[in-house]
Structure 1
Amino acid sequence: MAEVYLDNAATTPMVQPVIDVLVDQLNHHWGNASTGYGYGRDAKRVLEDSRHVIAQSIGARDDEIVFTSGGSEGDNTAIIQVAHARAKLGKHIITTAIEHDAVLKSCQALEAEGFRVTYLPVDERGMISLTDLKEALDDQTTLVSVMMANNEVGTKMPIRQIGELLVDHQAWFHTDAVQAYGLEDIDVNRDHIDLLSTSAHKINGPKMMGFLYRREGLNFSSLIKGGEQETKRRAGTENVPAAAAFAKAVSLLTPAEKDHRGQKFLGFKHELVRQLTKHGIDFAVNGSPIDEAMPQIINLWIKGVPTQVMQNGLDLAGFAVSGGSACTAGNVEPSHVLVAMFGPVSPRITESIRVSFGVMNTIEQVDALATNIVKIVKRVKGE
């Protein structure tokens, strides 16, 4: 059968309108936006038009958007550079135990420099406690970084409540919105967000392109050292074609389209659960209830079937899904997200898969996925 891609939380394919913009820009607007002659002015216009589209999508000002190479750079910048810039006010950072590695490893690097980091625990839904956050805050806290939605289980964090909690505190509020941007309604002013990072390739845009929203008046130096691009906030020649393609991907996500995609993906999740239940598969959903999590992500504990066995079986059948673990240098390590949620000895750690939907998926593909999961379960269990 044809390959069915169901790992859209990892990356998404560029859609044709985005590809068309990217190719057109590469052909016709390849100048350096920092130069003063015609080619440069043309590229600068494209760059600023793209910045405006993206700023509007989160209720920000154009000059609060800094183009980056993606979510990791945005996270690194917001955490490392802010921590250093505000060290005289305190050296305490608060984050969660289930953040993306771009956040966690930034925090670990700061710990090695003498900063103090509180990693908020999560419950079995993958949710932090606002009480825990309140108790962790002190007069040395300068940054709170909580992801908008988890990339493995889809749990949505209480971003607006966190923002409101920090209004009268010196700590700046950063959120990694990589998995939420494009589907969630985001307003940085309403939600009192100071810093927000995301990535184009999660919304059918190009890789190596993203942005960091930094509220006006927040002063800290660029992580990337060099020229004075992005009004001295991010060195390096701007990737104008990718910025334009990113803006095109954003422009396609009208409120109606976001709602359509959300309902479509939610329907896929319910159909997958219905089919597995119908065939008597022993499974459970990891994380928040289906209707409360991000609509495109479902993490399933297929009881009694090792993750690698299920993932390999589906791969051979033509389905691309993610395991509940990450492979690093050939060594399979437990998912830190599932460990934080269920503990290090839970069978969920080694028997879970993540399925994540995108615009190119169909209900027929979901039914075919369910059929193949059933076949693999029955084969493994000898039924």
Structure 2
Amino acid sequence: MESIYLDHAATSPMHPEVIAVMADVMQNYYGNPSSIHHLGRSASYKLEEAREVIAKSLDVKPHEIIFNSGGTEGDNTAILETAFSRQTQGKHLITTRIEHPAVLNTMRYLEDKGFEVTYLTVDQKGRISLDELQAALRTDTILVSIMYGNNEIGNLLPIKEIGELLKEHPAYFHTDAVQAYGNQTIRPHEWGIDLLSTSAHKVNGPRGVGFLYKNDDIRLPSLLHGGEQEEKRRAGTENLAGICGFAKAVELLTLEERDNRAQAYLQFTKMILQSLDEAGIDYEVNGELENKLPHILNLRFNGIASDLLLMKLDLKGIAISTGSACTAGNVDPSHVLEEMYGKNASEVKESVRVSFGYGNTEAEVQRFIQELIAAIQQLRK
């Protein structure tokens, strides 16, 4: 029985060409990029080559890319260093209630340190209100941190509109773009984004590497202190193989490739929903079907416990999830669904996330549909 992996929002398999690039770097470019001898210089050249590839994907300057260990470090750096370096100007921050734990837990930490955080609410479709954001803005607001696309329900948040709203306000604007980067066209300079965090492992790159985009127009201290790597903005010897692998993954995501993937994922979604309708399955889509990340589909099956459904599918070699992988290993309910429906709502314990990615085929999705319907029918009995 072949496994079917439909949990790409948690992590994605590495592309073979990424693995090949990383192996070459590990074997032939093992010098420290900070060393001045020829091996160090060749490693430094590879590092800057990768930085240019990444910068081009966002249409920003190479200097504005700071390589790090991934989304969590990027979120922490953007939020903590903005808060601590600007606290003489104000101690108020704004975010949403459906952010990734890397943002929410960092905000809670800051609350313990005397900062005030406003958490924007969402409606039952997972949408925020721009009017609520505007009303929350104060003269002492120093940071607005709102994710680009939600990792559980796939909703795209109004990033362009928020950037426009903040044009005349001194608050920095940070977005966690971990789920969106690689499948959405993002233009930080045009849209007023000051800080943006990503992770390579969401786009078929390696784990443990990412970058923080920092607009040259803002000041931000380093979160880590030590050596002078990344122009003194992020201490620690660079993960050269991981960075080059990340750059290769980004290089492979051409506009044509992204469009082809998006169309395939939309077709997969259509196949699933149509088959559920034909089988008479009682279900609801959590979030929106329009204005969303194409690779994420969150479904609620009325009366079916999500953990039991996951176990049945897992026994058939099919991997899906109930939400964020960063809360794996426990049975905590989805905070995103709780904010949408309420803490005790049945939707919270009856919903699963299906997320598509590189390597998925129509044949796999058809088999998933068959096993999903069979599992639901068995559990209903």
Residues 241-256 of structure 1 aligned to structure 2 (within 5 Å): 241-256=241-256
Residues 187-198 of structure 1 aligned to structure 2 (within 5 Å): 187-198=187-198
CA drift at 1:218: 1.9
Deviations 1:240-270 (A, max 9, x none): 1111111000011111111111111111111
**Cα distance in 2, alignment partners of residues 52 and 188 from structure 1:** 16
In structure 2, what is the equivalent of residue 217 of structure 1? 217
Output the TM-score relative to the length of structure 1: 0.98
**1:275 maps to amino acid:** S
CA contact (8 A) 2:57 2:250 kept: yes
CA drift at 1:217: 3.1
**1:175 maps to amino acid:** T
Does the residue aligned with 2:227 lie in a helix, a strand or coil? coil
**Alignment of 1:371 onto 2:370:** yes
**Cα distance in 1, alignment partners of residues 200 and 250 from structure 2:** 9
CA contact (8 A) 1:324 1:351 kept: no
In structure 2, what is the equivalent of residue 29 of structure 1? 29
Does the residue aligned with 1:243 lie in a helix, a strand or coil? helix
**Cα distance in 2, alignment partners of residues 95 and 124 from structure 1:** 18
Residues 196-275 of structure 1 aligned to structure 2 (within 5 Å): 196-275=196-275
In structure 2, what is the equivalent of residue 72 of structure 1? 72
In structure 1, what is the equivalent of residue 317 of structure 2? 318
CA contact (8 A) 2:322 2:334 kept: no
Residues 149-160 of structure 1 aligned to structure 2 (within 5 Å): 149-160=149-160
**Cα distance in 1, alignment partners of residues 107 and 229 from structure 2:** 27
In structure 2, what is the equivalent of residue 351 of structure 1? 350
Structure 1 runs (4+) greater than 3 angstroms displaced: 324-331
CA drift at 1:346: 1.1
CA drift at 1:89: 0.6
Output the TM-score relative to the length of structure 2: 0.98
**Cα distance in 2, alignment partners of residues 65 and 147 from structure 1:** 19
**Cα distance in 2, alignment partners of residues 321 and 347 from structure 1:** 19
Matched residues, number: 381
**2:310 maps to amino acid:** Q
Identity, % of aligned positions:
50
Over 3 Å counting, the alpha-carbon distance change for 1:260 and 1:177 in structure 2 is same
In structure 2, what is the equivalent of residue 87 of structure 1? 87
CA drift at 1:347: 0.7
CA contact (8 A) 1:64 1:216 kept: yes
**2:13 maps to amino acid:** P
Does the residue aligned with 1:89 lie in a helix, a strand or coil? coil
Does the residue aligned with 1:193 lie in a helix, a strand or coil? coil
CA drift at 1:292: 2.2
Deviations 1:92-114 (A, max 9, x none): 00000000000001100000000
Mark the runs of 5 or more structure 1 residues left unpaired by the alignment: none
**Cα distance in 1, alignment partners of residues 70 and 171 from structure 2:** 24
CA contact (8 A) 1:324 1:349 kept: no
**1:79 maps to amino acid:** I
Does the residue aligned with 1:14 lie in a helix, a strand or coil? coil
**Cα distance in 2, alignment partners of residues 154 and 192 from structure 1:** 22
Over 3 Å counting, the alpha-carbon distance change for 1:330 and 1:244 in structure 2 is closer
Residues 119-198 of structure 1 aligned to structure 2 (within 5 Å): 119-198=119-198
Over 3 Å counting, the alpha-carbon distance change for 1:98 and 1:187 in structure 2 is same
Deviations 1:193-233 (A, max 9, x none): 00000000000000000000000032222111211100010
CA drift at 1:373: 1.2
**Cα distance in 2, alignment partners of residues 339 and 186 from structure 1:** 29
**Cα distance in 1, alignment partners of residues 110 and 19 from structure 2:** 39
Over 3 Å counting, the alpha-carbon distance change for 1:248 and 1:327 in structure 2 is closer
**Cα distance in 1, alignment partners of residues 126 and 30 from structure 2:** 44
**1:148 maps to amino acid:** Y
Over 3 Å counting, the alpha-carbon distance change for 1:124 and 1:199 in structure 2 is same
In structure 2, what is the equivalent of residue 50 of structure 1? 50
Does the residue aligned with 2:131 lie in a helix, a strand or coil? helix
In structure 2, what is the equivalent of residue 305 of structure 1? 304
**Cα distance in 1, alignment partners of residues 98 and 45 from structure 2:** 39
CA drift at 1:87: 0.5
**Cα distance in 2, alignment partners of residues 34 and 161 from structure 1:** 41
CA drift at 1:280: 0.6
Does the residue aligned with 2:191 lie in a helix, a strand or coil? coil
CA contact (8 A) 1:120 1:132 kept: yes
CA contact (8 A) 1:326 1:332 kept: no
CA drift at 1:324: 4.2
**Cα distance in 2, alignment partners of residues 31 and 254 from structure 1:** 30
**Cα distance in 2, alignment partners of residues 190 and 330 from structure 1:** 40
Deviates more, 1:51-60 or 1:324-333: 324-333
CA drift at 1:330: 5.3
Q: Output the aligned Cα RMSD.
A: 1.2
Does the residue aligned with 2:189 lie in a helix, a strand or coil? coil
Does the residue aligned with 2:376 lie in a helix, a strand or coil? helix
CA drift at 1:325: 7.3
CA drift at 1:328: 5.4
**2:358 maps to amino acid:** V
